[in-house]
A and B are shown apart, each in its own frame.
Chain A
Amino acid sequence: NAGVTQTPKFQVLKTGQSMTLQCAQDMNHEYMSWYRQDPGMGLRLIHYSVGAGITDQGEVPNGYNVSRSTTEDFPLRLLSAAPSQTSVYFCASSYLGGGPYNEQFFGPGTRLTVL
């Protein structure tokens, strides 16, 4: 199993450009989510999905779009990048439900710089 994979690992954008961060998992997990990590602020939830066709907003959704057309993939789109979106982005997945054994598995991250 590859686990949770993210591409690209690094990206530099100019203000106003758009791009898509890719996330895929091969564990048949229903739940997938995107976090951003900023110094001193830990990880903050951007969007999450509980299954194909179902998405919802997290704590910091503004400026980001998501869709979930398959169980495996959960791309994150920046429609018009802003310097405030410079961050490290992590995708995570788990089985659905708040049960104690539903550990979230994290991808290696995408480091995004917006100039």
Chain B
Amino acid sequence: AQSVTQLDSQVPVFEEAPVELRCNYSSSVSVYLFWYVQYPNQGLQLLLKYLSGSTLVKGINGFEAEFNKSQTSFHLRKPSVHISDTAEYFCAVRVLKAGNMLTFGGGTRLMVKP
């Protein structure tokens, strides 16, 4: 069975600073990788996804993530955060050829301070 670990439950950062949210996964088979964002009192919205090909994936709102197969990681980064990026971020995996089921990490709360 696959699992997802988000290493930081909370990440405080000042506005315009860079940020990295860490995600590691374990799976014995190939997976698709996703990052979702949840703004306060809202549902989840897809930020970006890695399917195959280039290991650097660009998403919405200036976020990007890099897939590292040897380290089984899929860290999310943004070079300069804005107050509006304050939200909870979830990393998720889906096993190839195993249907639509997603396995989520515990989430990282990004708190951007002025």
Contact = CB atoms under 8 A, between A and B. Distances in A.
25 contacts: A31-B100, A33-B100, A35-B104, A40-B9, A40-B106, A40-B107, A41-B106, A42-B104, A42-B105, A42-B106, A43-B102, A43-B104, A45-B102, A50-B99, A90-B44, A92-B44, A96-B100, A97-B100, A98-B97, A98-B98, A98-B100, A102-B100, A106-B36, A106-B45, A108-B42
Contact of A98 (B52, B99, B106): B99
Interface residues of A, number: 27
Contacts of B100: 31, 33, 48, 94, 96-98, 102, 104
Interface residues of B, number: 28
B97 A107 contact: no
A77 interface: no
A100 B105 CA distance: 19
A35 B104 CA distance: 10
Most chain A CB within a 10 A radius of its CB, from B52, B90, B100, B106: B100
A26 interface: no
B114 interface: no
B24 to A, nearest CB: 14
Interface of A: 4, 31, 33, 35, 40-45, 48, 50, 58, 90, 92, 94, 96-98, 100, 102-104, 106-109
A49 to B, nearest CB: 10
